[in-house]
């Protein structure tokens, strides 16, 4: 055995506080190299987003810099992981150092990733005699740790009891120790890829190739990537945390953390956020002066809730969580869908949101809820159309959160908005963007309007009150 390890990076693109990487470094006295596979199955997904891919590639670049500054290295290969590992191990076996003793990675919970990891682990352990070591990272509390005590369905399907249990577990010693790790140790790597392989044609690093190829398709400004950028953002947000619960619903105010795309790639984790903001003692029902912190933590719990749901019910990826809503007869009019995508519905808050999405790759949560409700309950279009379009556009696009958000808005999901609660886009606009700060930013052609006129639809593609009745008629017979 070579007495060195490989760390397989996936959604944990950072060095600081990376549990599986730290384990590997300790085991191998710093002799660990990093690898990332750009999987072609991922590139050919129908909801692939060049913008999100650009952010990922920049994150990999930042990770490589972080590793190199510490004496380490990252190789980016254009391979399906199973094939890639097999070719790599064949090559390494022939080299002076031989094959690695261990491959480490942090666990992922998406259906595709679970199947992939099982296949790769099986091959590494049984086919190559290489140990596999995994750790928890992407979640604070994993699905097997948060179960109902009894009952036919042993996992929580309603957010509030899930969150109550989650907060209770956060207070327990074994979880707390993980969330608030002892001071990060000074990390040093004692191995680079060139020490192992040299860089041959087969293993030519593909990062620059992908960046050059993808950059032509990028349509939004790509924010700074990597753990340093994420930590800087978190630091800024720390000063605003107390105001979070008062501001988080107002899209015209910069009142939320904007950390979603970093959490998605693991440039930062929820555990780190909790530790750095000192939230480990937060209670489910917060005392008022701690309201901002607790509200913020509750959003991180929504993130975990949807990941747990996807883990327990992988079929939500393609169909409604609630069986009774699997056969809704959507109208699915293409012309209305195009108008929604292009921000031409005539409803200002909807159009502003869709333009923000198209121009920046991000949309405020309140507006995501409004446009999703509008697509499903005013335009009567299948939530899966909207879900796919969001994935194509969002820099933070994430299967569990996006699916959860869409199914919530369409009332088909786990603990959703009741079907009869249908957002009135004009009232939502007046309530959450009273002075039209957000509307004026994204719809400058409306900047001259004042008061209520600013929020009123102009030449709307559908009429809200009649479409609302249609939506109710569509859901009602199935709702029993
Ligand atoms: C239709 C729809 C689609 C969505 N798609 C995605 C998606 O693809 N990726 C994504 O990360 N979030 C998604 N969300 C959730 C939410 O809108 C974003 O997480 C949030 O707007 C990101 O901004 P922020 O980081 O400033 O959030 P903050 O308010 O600062 O919240 C902190 C973090 O908590 C998590 N979070 C917050 N709200 C939710 C929520 N409702 N569900 C799950 N996690 C949440 C995110 O990781 C977020 O970064 C969606 C919501 C809806 C209604």
- C-beta of residue 51 within 8 angstroms of C-beta of residue 219: yes
Q: Indicate whether 41 pLDDT > 70.
A: yes
Q: Is 117 in the pocket of ligand 1 (CB under 6 A)?
A: no
Query: Which among 234, 259, 401, 409 is the best mutation to test ligand 1's pocket, defined by most ligand atoms within 8 Å of the CB?
Result: 401
Q: Indicate whether 15 pLDDT > 60.
A: yes
Average pLDDT on 423-450 reads 97
pLDDT at position 436, please? 97
Within the chain, all domains assigned CATH 1.25.40.80 are found at: 139-183+225-312
CATH number given to 1-138: 3.40.50.620
Query: Which among 237, 260, 392 is the best mutation to test ligand 1's pocket, defined by most ligand atoms within 8 Å of the CB?
Result: 260
Closest residue by CA, ligand 1 atom 37: 299
Q: Is 139 in the pocket of ligand 1 (CB under 6 A)?
A: no
Ligand 1 centroid to 148 CA: how many Å? 25
pLDDT at position 151, please? 64
Q: How far apart are CA 284 and CA 59, in angstroms?
A: 33
Q: How far is CA 249 from CA 204, 252, 369, 404, in A?
A: 47, 9, 11, 19
pLDDT at position 184, please? 63
Give 215-259 pLDDT, tens digit per residue.
999 999 999 999 999 999 999 999 999 999 999 999 999 999 999
Name the average pLDDT for the chain: 93
Q: Indicate whether 81 pLDDT > 90.
A: yes
The CA-based angle 58-64-66, given to 5 degrees, is 105
pLDDT at position 267, please? 97
Q: Which residues contact 335 (CB under 8 A, 6 or more apart)?
A: none
Q: Where are the alpha helices (DSSP H) in 205-290?
A: 207-215, 227-238, 244-247, 260-265, 270-277
Ligand 1 centroid to 8 CA: how many Å? 27
- C-beta of residue 172 within 8 angstroms of C-beta of residue 307: no
Q: How far apart are CA 425 and CA 432, in angstroms?
A: 10
Give 165-219 pLDDT, tens digit per residue.
999 999 887 788 778 776 666 678 999 998 888 765 567 788 999 999 999 999 9
Closest atom of ligand 1 relative to the 257 alpha carbon:
30
Q: 139-183+225-312 has which fold?
A: 1.25.40
Q: Which long-range contacts (CB under 8 A, 24 or more apart) does 239-242 make?
A: 241/277, 241/292, 241/293, 241/296, 242/289, 242/292, 242/293
Ligand 1 centroid to 362 CA: how many Å? 10
Q: Where are the alpha helices (DSSP H) in 100-139?
A: 111-122, 128
- Tell me which residue of 128, 93, 98, 125 sits closest to 1, measured CA to CA: 98
Residue 323 burial (C-beta neighbours within 10 Å; 0-12, 13-18, 19+):
exposed
Query: Which among 55, 279, 303 is the best mutation to test ligand 1's pocket, defined by most ligand atoms within 8 Å of the CB?
Result: 303
- C-beta of residue 36 within 8 angstroms of C-beta of residue 77: yes
Ligand 1 centroid to 357 CA: how many Å? 14
Given the candidates 1.10.579.10, 2.60.40.150, 3.40.50.300, 2.60.40.10, the CATH classification of the domain at 323-478 is: 1.10.579.10
Three-state DSSP state, 131: strand
Within the chain, all domains assigned CATH 1.10.579.10 are found at: 323-478
217 torsion bin: left (phi>0), alpha (psi -120 to 50), beta (else): alpha
Please state, for a pLDDT cut of 90, what percent of the chain lies above it. Answer: 84
Within the chain, all domains assigned CATH 3.40.50.620 are found at: 1-138
β-bridge partners, 131? 102
């Amino acid at each position: 055995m070579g007495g060195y390890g490989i760390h397989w990076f996936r959604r944990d693109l950072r060095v600081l506080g990376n549990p599986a990487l730290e384990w590997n470094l300790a085991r191998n006295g710093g002799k660990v190299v990093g690898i990332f596979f750009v999987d072609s199955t991922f590139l050919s997904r129908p909801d692939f987003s060049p913008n999100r891919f650009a952010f990922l590639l920049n994150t990999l670049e930042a990770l490589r810099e972080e590793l190199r500054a510490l004496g380490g290295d990252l190789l980016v290969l254009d391979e399906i992981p199973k094939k890639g590992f097999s070719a790599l191990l064949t090559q390494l076996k022939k080299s002076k150092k031989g094959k690695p003793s261990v491959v480490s990675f942090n666990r992922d919970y998406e259906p595709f990733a679970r199947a992939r990891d099982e296949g790769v682990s099986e091959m590494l352990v049984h086919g190559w005699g290489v140990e596999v070591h995994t750790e928890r990272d992407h979640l604070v509390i994993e699905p097997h740790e948060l179960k109902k005590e009894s009952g036919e369905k042993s996992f929580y399907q309603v957010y509030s009891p899930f969150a109550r249990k989650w907060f209770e577990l956060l207070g327990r010693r074994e979880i707390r120790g993980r969330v608030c790790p002892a001071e990060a140790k000074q990390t040093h790597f004692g191995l680079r890829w060139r020490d192992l392989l040299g860089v041959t044609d087969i293993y030519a690093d593909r990062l620059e190739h992908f960046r050059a190829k993808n950059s032509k398709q990028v349509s939004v400004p790509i924010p700074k990537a990597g753990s340093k950028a994420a930590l800087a953002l978190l630091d800024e947000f720390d000063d605003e945390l107390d105001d979070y619960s008062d501001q988080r619903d107002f899209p015209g105010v910069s009142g939320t953390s904007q950390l979603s795309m970093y959490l998605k790639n693991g440039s930062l984790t929820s555990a780190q956020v909790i530790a750095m903001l000192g939230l480990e003692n937060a209670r489910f029902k917060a005392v008022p002066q701690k309201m901002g912190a607790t509200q913020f933590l509750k959003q991180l719990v929504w993130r975990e809730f949807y990941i747990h749901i996807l883990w327990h019910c992988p079929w939500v990826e393609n169909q409604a969580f609630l069986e009774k809503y699997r056969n809704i007869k959507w109208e699915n009019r293409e012309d209305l869908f195009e108008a929604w995508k292009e921000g031409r519905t005539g409803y200002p808050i909807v159009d502003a949101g869709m333009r923000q999405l198209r121009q920046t790759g991000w949309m405020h949560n309140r507006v995501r809820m409004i446009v999703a409700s509008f697509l499903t309950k005013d335009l009567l279009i299948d939530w899966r159309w909207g879900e796919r379009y969001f994935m194509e556009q969002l820099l933070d696009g994430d299967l569990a959160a996006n699916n959860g958000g869409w199914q919530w808005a369409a009332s088909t999901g786990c603990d959703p908005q009741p079907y009869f609660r249908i957002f009135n886009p004009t009232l939502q606009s007046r309530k959450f963007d009273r002075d039209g700060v957000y509307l004026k930013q994204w719809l400058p052609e409306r900047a001259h309007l004042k008061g209520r006129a600013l929020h009123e639809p102009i030449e709307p593609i559908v009429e809200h009150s009649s479409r609302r009745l249609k939506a109710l008629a569509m859901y009602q017979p199935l709702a029993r």
